[in-house]
């Protein structure tokens, strides 16, 4: 599956911010967590959607 298919935008969800498909988790939150040094496992634990 293409990574781009896992990212969606919808003006009705999170003010149109790019989100992980099927969730209300903005991509920016995931990127911020990665930049802060969070591991994949930590992110999945904190955002289990």
* Encoded tokens for 33: 């967590």
Residue 14, classed as helix, strand or coil, is helix
CA angle 47, 41, 7 (to 5 degrees): 50
Task: Count structural domains, the chain.
Answer: 1
Residue 1 has a pLDDT of 52
CATH of the domain at 29: 1.10.10.10
Distance of CA 23 to CAs 6, 13, 35, 37, Å? Answer: 10, 9, 21, 23
Residue 3 has a pLDDT of 67
Domain assignment of residue 15, given as a range: 3-46
Residue 4 has a pLDDT of 77
User: Averaged in consecutive runs of 10 residues, what is the pLDDT profile of the chain (49 residues)?
Assistant: 82 95 96 98 93
């Amino acid at each position: 599956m293409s990574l781009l298919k896992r990212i969606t935008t919808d003006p009705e969800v999170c003010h149109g911010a790019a989100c992980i498909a099927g969730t209300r988790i903005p991509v920016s939150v995931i990127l911020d967590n990665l930049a802060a040094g969070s591991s994949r496992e930590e992110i999945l634990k904190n955002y289990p959607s």
